Amino acid sequence: MSCAPGATFAANGCDVSQQASARHEPPSSSLEEMPVETLRRVGPRVAERLAKLGIARVQDLLFHLPVRYQDRTRLVPIEALRPGQEALIEGTIREAGVSIGRRRSLKVWLGEETLGGIMLRFFHFSPQQAAALRPGVRLRCYGEVRQGPQGLEMVHPEYRLHSDSVQIEARLTPIYPATEGLQQPTLRGLTEQALERLAESPPRDYLPPEILAPLGLPSLAEALLYLHRPPIEASLEDLVERRHPAFQRLAFEELVAHQASLRQLRRAQRARPAPRLQGDGRLRERLLAALPFALTEAQARVVGEIAHDLAGCRPMQRLLQGDVGAGKTVVAALAALQAVESGRQVALMAPTELLAEQHLRTLSRWLEPLGVETLWLAGRHKGRERAELLARLASGAARVAVGTHALFQDDVEFQDLGLVIIDEQHRFGVHQRLKLREKGAGAEGAPHQLIMTATPIPRSLAMTLFADLDLSVIDHLPPGRTPIVTVAVPDARREQVMARVRAACGQGRQAYWVCTLIEESESLQCQAAEEAANELAAALAELRVGLVHGRIKGAEREAVMAAFAAGELDLLVATTVIEVGVDVPNASLMIIENPERLGLSQLHQLRGRVGRGGVESHCVLLYHAPLSRTAQERLAIIRQTTSGFEIAERDLALRGAGEVLGTRQTGLVQFRIADPLRDQPLLPPAQRAADQLLEQHPEAAAALIRRWLGDRHDYGQV
């Protein structure tokens, strides 16, 4: 068959009105089920390559959208060409020959009579090619124009020897994300076939017109057709920026599917019973009386929200959002005590052992005096020790357990787990969240869950990404914090920065020196920290210098951290392992080496380690010049503001939602087409549409979830 889209397309027609009328009859063999192997020219090899692109069914092929388009719909006169432009041109070969310069190449001069010309250059060519490209032959080429030493040129353009049968394309040419061994013409040919099938049996439109019409979005079939084969007059810019209604239509549908799945999850969750953890307040009162501070208004408010949920008979699913240093730990402790007062156990899970240790220290300091046993379960607890810890949990002797995900291994059993608290939610995906819930599910139902995050996700976004959760926000920092002054200093002035550390520590303050490394290699990072520690210890001989990094484990690391917290060390050299949770109010200076290597939220989290006491704190960004533009922008943002929310918003604008939320790593939310940041205006209607579908057309909601989340929707059934 012909791979030229234009030809088939004409036969296909794009009369969507016909398709619309066919829409309501369920097709005998739907695109959702049809394997790609049913297409012509798809054998095992092609199927395997398609699988690499995540394409198994014909429908997947239709959802595999072009990343950009080429305009081969019109010929650009050679004399009108500009460098940087991609264009379809036509001309007669004036001269051709193989030149043996630094690199052997075939040079072909293409021109139009006396007007200007362009040189085509081929570094790889067969003798047949060289023979065919001889003077006098007419040629049509497509390629990128660039400025060469002898004027304009195209390197390795696509070309065809001209004959009248060669049509100019009637539509813009799609360029698909490709993979090795699967080139554009193949993908174009396959999508062409898929579009034919689409015309024969359009996919069911699960979104009813009453939802779509007010948004001015096209039908699914229309949208797919448009995106794969846009008409000549389409705005390339709208298409590429993915703001075209056809694109928005797909993004909307995907967002609705995600919303529906999360809502369904939430409903399933809320349909289950949970233990009522009313508590009598006696332990909470004692803790509040013992604390050296009073709760802020924001803290008191979220404590109330949580207390209310815990006392209910449905499992709480609450996200507690609060900037670094907002005081989430005490809120968690109060929730834990409410559960303990009600005779239940509590599990608190942190993403790293370091953070788990920190929580253990804080919680035991607060809870042990109240007679509440708090236990730490770490990966390194082995053999007898582990068995004893497990026994204390199973017997109910220990009321609160702190740990990493090790807490939820199969051999860990609780006597009566009533509440699960997860710190730093964005590091755990929705699947882990569900697994945890199952862990505590007993005869009396599922435990309550409190999820804490310091990632200040804008509210509208949070409501979408965590539509299965209720949201509590601590929106004010505790009083008495002095703002952190942040400066950027090139590493050429390292000595001066070291002198500053000496001066601060000389006044009884403590400091952090953080080493970063661009490689994902932990061992290199540890090595860099070791070297820095040696250098600093030598240069600042009067200071007591400690070191923590990922390879210093367990008791040793604990001892270093404890010594720093107790003021027995002046300077703590560390890798980014200290990012979350470490709390030493006397530390008022932080040096971050190569801050340009870190993302904004990571920098913000790191910096949050200082500014926790009463004195003015400083953060020095010791960067390595020259800085890229983005790096400059990022460091400027960090210098200008200490508000996590503002940083998150600007980070979003700079990088996109996935990265900010760390979801690319965790797989928390994976969208195929939608981008919650770019498509923010679609979020509220998507949420409404999801609710409406679940209410009025549950089968359509289920089908939509299946279409967009495939196997990933399993958790919707929990």
The residue (of 217 and 331) whose beta carbon lies closer to ligand ADP is 331
Q: Which residues contact 427 (CB under 8 A, 6 or more apart)?
A: 351, 662, 666
Instruction: Give me the least distance between CB of 366 and Mg ion, in Å please.
Output: 14
Angle between helices 328-341 and 282-290 (to 10 degrees): 150
- Choice from 8, 296, 321, 687 touching ligand ADP (CB under 6 A): 296
Instruction: Give me the least distance between CB of 543 and Mg ion, in Å please.
Output: 28
The residue (of 228 and 328) whose beta carbon lies closer to ligand ADP is 328
Query: Is 609 within 8 Å of 590 (Cβ atoms)?
Result: yes
The residue (of 396 and 478) whose beta carbon lies closer to ligand ADP is 478
* Rounded-to-integer distance, Cα 385 and Cα 139, Å: 80
Q: Which does 546 bind (CB under 5 to 8 A by kind): Mg ion, ligand ADP, none?
A: none
Query: Is 360 within 8 Å of 402 (Cβ atoms)?
Result: yes
Size of the site for ligand ADP (CB under 6 A): 17
- Amino acid identity at 6: G
Instruction: Give me the least distance between CB of 663 and ligand ADP, in Å please.
Output: 21
Binding mask 550-589 for ligand ADP (x = CB under 6 A): ---------------------------------x-x----
Q: Which does 299 bind (CB under 5 to 8 A by kind): Mg ion, ligand ADP, none?
A: ligand ADP
Residue 612 engages ligand ADP in binding (rule: CB under 6 A):
yes
- Phi/psi-derived region of residue 317, left when phi > 0, alpha when psi is between -120 and 50, beta in every other case: beta
Residue 454 engages ligand ADP in binding (rule: CB under 6 A):
yes
Q: Which residues contact 476 (CB under 8 A, 6 or more apart)?
A: 296, 297, 298, 326
In 286-356, the DSSP E strands lie at 317-322, 345-349
Site for ligand ADP in 311-330 (CB under 6 A): 322, 324-330
Report the SS3 class of residue 128: helix
Site for ligand ADP in 467-496 (CB under 6 A): 478
* Rounded-to-integer distance, Cα 683 and Cα 258, Å: 11
CA angle 483, 484, 488 (to 5 degrees): 145
Nearest to residue 80, comparing CAs of 116, 121, 119, 120? 116
Q: Which does 583 bind (CB under 5 to 8 A by kind): Mg ion, ligand ADP, none?
A: ligand ADP
Instruction: Give me the least distance between CB of 344 and ligand ADP, in Å please.
Output: 23
Instruction: Give me the least distance between CB of 351 and ligand ADP, in Å please.
Output: 13
The residue (of 581 and 716) whose beta carbon lies closer to Mg ion is 581
The residue (of 478 and 710) whose beta carbon lies closer to ligand ADP is 478
Rounded to an integer, what is the distance from CA 381 to the centroid of its chain? 33
The residue (of 231 and 304) whose beta carbon lies closer to ligand ADP is 304
Query: Is 175 within 8 Å of 201 (Cβ atoms)?
Result: no
CA angle 616, 618, 619 (to 5 degrees): 155
Q: What residue has token string 């501070």?
A: 293
Q: Which does 295 bind (CB under 5 to 8 A by kind): ligand ADP, Mg ion, none?
A: ligand ADP
Q: Which residues contact 193 (CB under 8 A, 6 or more apart)?
A: 39, 40
In 384-540, the DSSP E strands lie at 400-403, 417-423, 448-453, 470-474, 484-490, 510-514
The residue (of 123 and 293) whose beta carbon lies closer to ligand ADP is 293
The residue (of 19 and 358) whose beta carbon lies closer to ligand ADP is 358
Residue 440 engages ligand ADP in binding (rule: CB under 6 A):
no
The residue (of 258 and 509) whose beta carbon lies closer to ligand ADP is 509
Residue 295 engages ligand ADP in binding (rule: CB under 6 A):
yes
Binding mask 613-632 for Mg ion (x = CB under 5 A): --------------------
The residue (of 63 and 512) whose beta carbon lies closer to ligand ADP is 512
Query: Is 186 within 8 Å of 179 (Cβ atoms)?
Result: no
Site for ligand ADP in 656-675 (CB under 6 A): none
Instruction: Give me the least distance between CB of 454 and ligand ADP, in Å please.
Output: 6
Instruction: Give me the least distance between CB of 338 and ligand ADP, in Å please.
Output: 17
The residue (of 320 and 668) whose beta carbon lies closer to ligand ADP is 320
Residue 716 engages ligand ADP in binding (rule: CB under 6 A):
no
CA angle 666, 671, 673 (to 5 degrees): 150
Q: What residue has token string 């190569």?
A: 594
Q: Which does 312 bind (CB under 5 to 8 A by kind): ligand ADP, Mg ion, none?
A: none
The residue (of 476 and 551) whose beta carbon lies closer to ligand ADP is 476
- The phi, psi pair for 570, rounded to 5°, reads -90, -40
* Rounded-to-integer distance, Cα 207 and Cα 222, Å: 14
The residue (of 310 and 421) whose beta carbon lies closer to ligand ADP is 421
Angle between helices 600-607 and 629-640 (to 10 degrees): 40
* Rounded-to-integer distance, Cα 212 and Cα 638, Å: 42
Instruction: Give me the least distance between CB of 602 and ligand ADP, in Å please.
Output: 15
Q: Which does 194 bind (CB under 5 to 8 A by kind): ligand ADP, Mg ion, none?
A: none
The residue (of 585 and 710) whose beta carbon lies closer to ligand ADP is 585
Nearest to residue 431, comparing CAs of 262, 677, 242? 262
* Rounded-to-integer distance, Cα 92 and Cα 707, Å: 51
Instruction: Give me the least distance between CB of 514 and ligand ADP, in Å please.
Output: 17
Q: Which does 123 bind (CB under 5 to 8 A by kind): Mg ion, ligand ADP, none?
A: none
Residue 356 engages ligand ADP in binding (rule: CB under 6 A):
no
Taking CB atoms, the residue at the shortest distance from ligand ADP is 327
Binding mask 558-597 for Mg ion (x = CB under 5 A): -----------------------x----------------
Q: Which does 322 bind (CB under 5 to 8 A by kind): ligand ADP, Mg ion, none?
A: ligand ADP
* Rounded-to-integer distance, Cα 283 and Cα 372, Å: 9
CA angle 305, 306, 307 (to 5 degrees): 95
Identify which range of 145-153, 291-299, 506-514, 541-549 contacts ligand ADP by CB under 6 A: 291-299
Q: Which does 600 bind (CB under 5 to 8 A by kind): ligand ADP, Mg ion, none?
A: none
Q: Is 115 exposed, middle or buried (0-12, 13-18, 19+ CB in 10 A)?
A: exposed
Enumerate binding residues for Mg ion (CB under 5 A). 581
Enumerate binding residues for ligand ADP (CB under 6 A). 293, 295-296, 299, 322, 324-330, 454, 478, 583, 585, 612
